[in-house]
Amino acid sequence: MASETTRPYIIYRPPPGWGFWSNFSCVLQGLDYADREKLEPVVDMERHPTRYSEEEPVHGVTNAWEYYFHQPGILSLAEALAQNPLDNGGDVSGPFTSNFHHVIPPADILARARELVRKYIRLKSHIVERLDAVIPVDAGRDMLGVHVRGTDMRKHRPPYHPAPNIPETYLEQAILLDQEFSYSRIFLACDEQETVALFQGQFRDRLLTLPAHRTSVDLVEIPREWSYAWLFDGERHHHRYLLGLEVLLDALLLSRCGHFACGASNVSQAAMYFASEKQIVHPITPLWMCPCVDRPSIGRAYLAEALPLSRKPSASVLEGQMHELYDLLEYAENSRHDAHQNMADMSRALTKADKRIQKYQQEIETLRQQIQKQTATIELLKNRISSLINRWTRLGWNLMPWKKPSWRSHPYK
């Protein structure tokens, strides 16, 4: 039980959340607040499920956080709910959830994240066993970890997210770094099938990857599927849980590599949060900041502050990058065209709606005038009826027996 002076603090993200490590950054934001305010943190992904939540229990638990991690404190969710807890109200804004555009987080954010991870993040034992079976602790010092972000970030290009570099850039940088540092193995974490084939062609038996669900980039096409059915609607038993497990293992294995080549993503930042300060990071600079069709571009300003590539790219890789930028430009132009078309369609729809509103207003005004006339007619009739009633009352009164003179002279005859 928590002490009497330590109040529970429930951390959650409004359902369904987003990616695994994006959800983790929200938890980290809540842990930062709880730690500063001396509260007892509890993560709730049971009443507030994520995209990785299953309909049935996994390992006997229904809280998706507890599929992979122990609760950060000493309280279970049930115990916390019984103690009049505070909560974050679903507010996940803060430095840990807003720095995903950096390849390497700012030094103060990185240091604080590592502090929180060491203090509060406790992996389930079966996760640790899986990690140790692939790269034991301290066994990856002479290994290069590479994280290549693709799929939706290359095809859907969500606004104000970094557009990742092409896989050929990652491969060439890995080759140049390997020539310089002579790594024992190359561990690759990626979400595209084509990227695995690309690296296998170069590193062969020295390449280490986990068996995981990966998508062909051709299956991730426009129009956008913000439901991410292409990713989450798998046929595997506990497919959503396994997706979370796979990206968790990828990031934690990357954290055990002595050298790390990566672009800007929540996965790579999570790997740095779990890594030691001795890990050397080699930036793979994003190509651009994905534009928002109804706002000014910030791509040039973003690249001006971005870290440069670790090694100079070749002409063939630069050509590939140019083609990727051409695709991005075409996508931006088409998106702006679609936005303008939608605005034109909306403008026409609003014009029609205005005409209908004006028509209805005229009809309402006509009805109002008719009601006024009918009201006036009713008042006139009421007055006439009242006058007739008064006249008939006076007439009836005058016809009464006591109104006759003979009755007044001899009332009892």
Q: What is the pLDDT of residues 32-70, one digit of tens each?
A: 999 999 999 999 999 999 999 999 999 999 999 999 999
pLDDT at 264 over 60: yes
What does pLDDT average to over the chain? Answer: 89
pLDDT at 2 over 60: no
Angle between helices 107-120 and 20-36 (to 10 degrees): 80
Q: How far is CA 173 from the centre of its chain?
A: 31
Task: Give, as one character, the DSSP assignment of residue 160.
Answer: T
For position 409, what pLDDT does the model report? 58
pLDDT at 1 over 50: no
- Among candidate residues 133, 141, 146, 136, the one with its CA nearest the CA of residue 202: 146
* Chain position carrying tokens 């059915």: 229
Q: Are the C-beta atoms of residues 175 and 316 closer than 8 Å to each other?
A: no
| Amino acid identity at 369 | Q
Q: What's the rounded mean pLDDT across residues 260-272? A: 96
pLDDT at 331 over 90: no
Q: Are the C-beta atoms of residues 68 and 124 closer than 8 Å to each other?
A: yes
For position 288, what pLDDT does the model report? 85
| Amino acid identity at 379 | E
Tokens of 322: 């140019």
CA distance 153 to 350: 34
For position 401, what pLDDT does the model report? 63
pLDDT in tens, 196-213: 999 999 999 999 999 999
DSSP 183-210: -S-EEEEESBHHHHHHHHHHHGGGEE--
Q: Please count the other Cβ atoms lying within 10 Å of the Cβ belonging to residue 122.
A: 14
Q: How many CA atoms lie within 13 A of 138 on its CB side?
A: 0
pLDDT in tens, 299-316: 888 888 888 898 999 999
pLDDT at 82 over 50: yes
- Among candidate residues 2, 8, 3, 1, the one with its CA nearest the CA of residue 84: 8
pLDDT at 177 over 90: yes
Task: Give, as one character, the DSSP assignment of residue 411.
Answer: T
Q: Is the peptide bond before 162 cis (omega within 30 degrees of 0)?
A: no
Q: What's the rounded mean pLDDT across residues 266-290? A: 95
pLDDT at 230 over 70: yes
For position 393, what pLDDT does the model report? 78
Q: Which residues touch 296 (CB under 8 Å, ≥6 apart)?
A: none
